[in-house]
Amino acid sequence: MDIKNIKKVDPQVAQQIELEFERQQNTIELIASENITSLAVMEASGSVLTNKYAEGKPYKRFYNGCEHVDIIEEIAQERAKSLFGVDHANVQPHSGAQANMAVFLYALKPGDKVLGMDLSNGGHLTHGSPVNFSGLYFDVASYGVNEYGEIDYDDVRAKALSHKPKLIVCGASNYSKIIDFKRFKEIADEVGALLMADIAHIAGLVAAGVHPSPAPYADFVTTTTHKSLRGPRGGITMCKAEHAAGVDKAVFPGIQGGPLEHIIAAKAIALHEAAQPEFKTYAAQVIKNAQALAQGLMDEGMDIVGGMTQNHLMTLDLRKFGKTGKDMANVLEQVGITANKNTVPNDPQSPFVTSGVRLGTPAVTTRGFKEDDMVEVAKIIAGAVFASDNEQGLKNLRERALKLCKRYPIYVD
């Protein structure tokens, strides 16, 4: 990686960037919300566009000199609309959380009722967690999953009928099954609620057509751009035409000032990449790799929440081994695998400790891993669970992980 100017100006930061590149190069990345962008996306993120202030919408800015960023932002909007089949797209949100916040600000008033997925069952902070704005300022009821790790749609309907929410939120940060957006729409219509689908995790799968799309059903579709979509860190808020003006006002001036035009350019490039045939192949391989990893872990005696995955992620349930997600995530890091602790349904541990580890395949699939490689990864993970106190055993597992990493280097021209 060429960072010669950073080395001249700030050797301390340059050193940490180089070390981070080395870490990524030599680590099997299984954090489900991480990926590896293209060099083109990275170049846009670090381009001269970072110098430009551009409050407002394209062609309706509060600053002069926006003629070029106007075109770039418009390109990003049109690509998002085309890729996801939506009426309107605002590409300015700085993150997925702000993409969701814009919908809440537009669609709700403080104290309005919301029905969202419980964080401990696979939802997201912004779906109504009491420590987040969504739970602090709105009256939230939550739904979850059954013993099979599946959304209980009858329970969602019952809670909707009881709570009478103004907004129902579907989508998840840790849910391994196909989401029935049509069923959510039927429930929302029955109680007169608006429907928001947060597809931050599955956006790349939806874009590639390997997961059903919420676009025909949801009033609002929100996403990040840096997970399975493989773009820069950022968000997009999409909606039906009748909500467009209100959503735009909610983003600016409602929750943000100037947009990050360098990141919007990177979003545009990522959206272009996601529209190519090879991205469809990639997204299909993400699912194949996840399924191979889940089956490989179960073959090694591990438990997976729900017993399978239909998308890019899964949760390793450690309860029968008497181990915590926090401890095992640290052990996995020792053997060269990064993952994150995560709750399992009805978790006896706190969210800071957890009984599970979430695993995902977008980043390793970008590197080129295939099903056989995921079986080896499963063996390494299982070995780490069984040998978590064996220093030599962990060292051997580290060598196996490093061998895989060297087989699939990142950023090789």
User: What are 80-136's pLDDT values in tens digits?
Assistant: 999 999 999 999 999 999 999 999 999 999 999 999 999 989 999 999 999 999 999
- The rounded mean pLDDT for the chain is 96
Report the distance separating Cα 290 and Cα 294, nearest Å. Answer: 6
Report the distance separating Cα 126 and Cα 21, nearest Å. Answer: 31
Domains, in order of start, for the chain:
42-274 (3.40.640.10), 286-407 (3.90.1150.10)
Catalytic (active-site) positions: 53, 55, 198, 224, 227, 233
Which pLDDT belongs to residue 388?
Answer: 78
Report the distance separating Cα 5 and Cα 23, nearest Å. Answer: 21
Question: Per-residue confidence at 259, pLDDT binned at 50, 70, 90?
Answer: very high
Is the pLDDT score of 300 beyond 80? yes
Kindly state the average pLDDT of the residues 393-401.
97
Which pLDDT belongs to residue 1?
Answer: 74
Amino acid letter, residue 280? K
> How far is Cα of residue 333 from the mean position of the Cα atoms in its chain?
21
User: What are 401-412's pLDDT values in tens digits?
Assistant: 999 999 999 987
Report the distance separating Cα 298 and Cα 151, nearest Å. Answer: 22
User: What are 12-62's pLDDT values in tens digits?
Assistant: 999 999 999 999 999 999 999 999 999 999 999 999 999 999 999 999 999
What does the H/E/C string look like for 316-381?
Answer: EECHHHCCCHHHHHHHHHHCCEECEEECCCCCCCCCCCCCEEEEECHHHHHHCCCHHHHHHHHHHH
Which pLDDT belongs to residue 148?
Answer: 84
Which pLDDT belongs to residue 346?
Answer: 85
Is the pLDDT score of 147 beyond 90? no
Is the pLDDT score of 413 beyond 60? no
Threshold 0.85, pTM exceeds = yes
Question: Per-residue confidence at 345, pLDDT binned at 50, 70, 90?
Answer: confident
Report the distance separating Cα 268 and Cα 282, nearest Å. Answer: 19
Which pLDDT belongs to residue 389?
Answer: 80
% residues pLDDT > 70 (the chain): 100
Report the distance separating Cα 236 and Cα 104, nearest Å. Answer: 14
